[in-house]
Amino acid sequence: MTPALAGVVLAAVSTAVRLIHAVPSPDQITQNYDSVFHDNIVARIIVTGQASSLHALPPIRDVYPIAFQQFAALGALAVRGTTAAAAITSAWLVFAALLWPTAVLFLVRRICGAHAITDFLAPLLAAVCAAGPFLLLDWGTLYSMFAGNVVLPVSLGLVWTWCASGWKRGVRDAGLGLVWIAVAVLAVSLCHFRVMMTGLLLALPVLVVWVFDVLRAVRRSSKALFHALIVGGALVIAAVLALGVRVFVLMYLRGVDRPIAAHLNGGPAQPTEHIPSAIMRFLLGRPIDSSNTPLAVFWPVAVLIVGALIVALVVHSRESLMLVASFVLLGVIFVSSAGTHADWAKVLTALWYKDQRRPFAAWPIVAAALICWAVGHLVTTYGARCVARRPWTRSIVAVLVVAFALMACAINPQLDGMGRAVGRTYGFAAGDADSPMLSRDEYLMLKRMSALVPEGERVVSDPWNGSGFLLAVGWRTPFYPHLSMMWDHDHDYLARNLHAIDTDPEVCAIIQRNDLRWYLDMGGSFAPHDPQHVMFDGMRPVPGAMEPVARQGRAVLYRIVACGMPR
């Protein structure tokens, strides 16, 4: 077994074992905000066969990148009887356990070349540092962004190789390299296009160095062309920046309707600490879980990244400084998200929704590359000399690397903490508690829906109480398949006024127009004070207008008999 294969296998086993330990059953779902949307997309693909990113989940959102959801649904269609939840969990495991460490290995090989130690370490570091691939499983759950992060190292590796040497290899090879970069960028974008913002951030130092290389080459061949490119490029950049600044100032600083202070104020955008604390947490690779609790520092990786930064700065080669610059740029975005709520921080982090977890999810990418570069440099510079003088050092280094790998997988308090957080994310609510969304009884009620509600009929309910998972768990279409979106008149009015079904003719008109025959009551919202839930405060059962059909615990399915609907 090659070192690269051994590293990938160990990383895959570690991730799979931790997921299985944290999640009792693949049929369980992550009970958080974004899961409702993503899980229902997968179920809709399975039920309808419609898998276009241009019609992701009507009427909530049409255009949305759903490559991960397509992959999950494909698994369910290949293995008959697979639930949407199990398909999503299985797809996540494939991405996290196999594709993620392999993609980071690809990036490290493009930067460092093939070395036994770095080939073994790269996939392992992807799995064990900064909560590994579990961060966006616990938070969101951001399946699409996670999938984009998984593919991102491949695009970064291709960009690194092309900018370093590929553009000099003739028109054919340079053009082929650009084609592969375009394919990788498209793959990332189809998972989630906003991940490319992180990709551009990490690739920026490489691209800047490449531009200077090109300008130097042009200057040697033609000074006139060089000056023309400098002037033309400066004018284009200045014009684009001026236009962007002007539009932003008019919309978010001077406009009366969209001031920047009124945006990016939700929970994910709120700072969790002050700037010095955020800097230290980023430097040590210490994430927070979905309850904003900082996880333990995994000191072996923390020592490695600090040591790698020191080595890179001491060596100050082109490669090492580009890696340090990428690490710093990512840190600036993270710290601005986590450490302050100033308007300048909102401007700087808007492309990441000022959500600290989105940039931090890329920490293992740049950290693994930086650590492996430093290790590779030390081995290349001093390894042969040490082995020549003391042949036994090779065995000692091998034992130390294997010991680190096993310890990182088996004795990792940071991953242990994240595993507990993931377990809570998948866990059921206790008794009649409203948070998290589903109790066992409510989950079982959703499982019964395909036997209670005829196929093709939609069910009205407050999606914030867990019934939003109706399509993903019960294979029946909810009238509100996500918690919040730009609702049309019918959705908005009905949510606010369903309680007046026996007195408001507009409510009846909406029910008849949409042929709504069912109402599912599953208790209160898991986030009753969220401003986005206010519109659903008008939803509740109305005696006489609704007749109970089935009950599981406190979950009750009603048939709507008012408004002239058939019994």
Residue 319 has pLDDT above 90, yes or no: yes
pLDDT tens-digit series, residues 271-314:
999 999 999 999 999 999 999 999 999 999 999 999 999 999 99
Give residue for tokens 């007749």.
547
pLDDT tens-digit series, residues 155-166:
999 999 999 999
Q: How confident is the model at residue 479 (pLDDT cuts 50, 70, 90)?
A: very high
pLDDT at 290: 92
Q: What mean pLDDT is predicted for residues 63-67? A: 91
Q: What percent of the chain clears pLDDT 70, i.e. is strictly above it?
A: 98
DSSP 52: -
**Across 293-307, 377-391, 475-489, 539-553, least confident range:** 377-391
pLDDT at 179: 96
What does residue 113 show for φ and ψ, rounded to 5 degrees? 80, -175
pLDDT at 515: 95
Q: Residue 466 half-sphere exposure, CB side, CA atoms within 13 Å? A: 34
pLDDT at 432: 80
Q: How confident is the model at residue 257 (pLDDT cuts 50, 70, 90)?
A: low
Rounded mean pLDDT of the chain? 92
Q: What mean pLDDT is predicted for residues 414-428? A: 95
CB of 506 within 8 A of CB of 512?
A: no
pLDDT at 396: 82
Residue 256 has pLDDT above 70, yes or no: no
CB of 563 within 8 A of CB of 512?
A: yes
pLDDT tens-digit series, residues 196-241:
999 999 999 999 999 999 999 888 888 888 888 888 888 998 998 8
pLDDT at 220: 87
Q: Which residues contact 232 (CB under 8 A, 6 or more apart)?
A: none
pLDDT at 496: 96
| Vertex 39: Cα angle to 37 and 45 (nearest 5) | 100
Residue 1 has pLDDT above 80, yes or no: no
Beta bridge partners of 459: 478, 518
Structure tokens at 330: 């990512």
Calpha distance 335→271 (Å, rounded)? 9
Structure tokens at 170: 């003739």
pLDDT tens-digit series, residues 134-148:
999 999 889 999 999
Burial of 400 (C-beta count, 10 Å sphere; 0-12/13-18/19+): exposed
Q: What mean pLDDT is predicted for residues 336-354? A: 91
Candidate CATH numbers 3.10.50, 3.10.450, 2.60.40, 3.40.50; the one for domain 440-560: 3.40.50
Over its C-alpha atoms, the chain yields an Rg (Å, rounded) of 26
User: Beta strands 518-521 and 459-460: pairing type?
Assistant: parallel
What does residue 392 show for φ and ψ, rounded to 5 degrees? -70, -15
pLDDT tens-digit series, residues 450-462:
999 999 999 999 9
**Across 63-72, 375-384, 551-560, least confident range:** 375-384
Q: What mean pLDDT is predicted for residues 430-438? A: 88
Q: How confident is the model at residue 379 (pLDDT cuts 50, 70, 90)?
A: confident
pLDDT at 404: 93
**Across 12-26, 305-319, 493-507, 520-534, least confident range:** 520-534
- The arrangement of strands across the sheet holding 555-560 comes to 459-460, 518-521, 555-560, 546-552
pLDDT at 388: 63
Q: How confident is the model at residue 381 (pLDDT cuts 50, 70, 90)?
A: confident
What pTM value is reported for the model?
0.93
Pick the closest to residue 10 from 391, 401, 390, 288 (CA basis).
401
Domain boundaries, the chain: 3-206+294-333+352-412, 440-560
Whole-angstrom distance between the N-terminal and C-terminal Cα of the chain? 67
Q: How confident is the model at residue 255 (pLDDT cuts 50, 70, 90)?
A: low
Calpha distance 200→187 (Å, rounded)? 15
pLDDT at 43: 95
Structure tokens at 360: 């931090």
What does residue 518 show for φ and ψ, rounded to 5 degrees? -135, 145
Helix and strand totals (H; E) in the chain? 24, 4
Residue 266 has pLDDT above 90, yes or no: no
Neighbours of 185 (CB within 10 A): 20
Q: What mean pLDDT is predicted for residues 82-110? A: 97
Alpha helices in 350-439 (DSSP H): 357-360, 363-378, 384-389, 393-410, 413-426
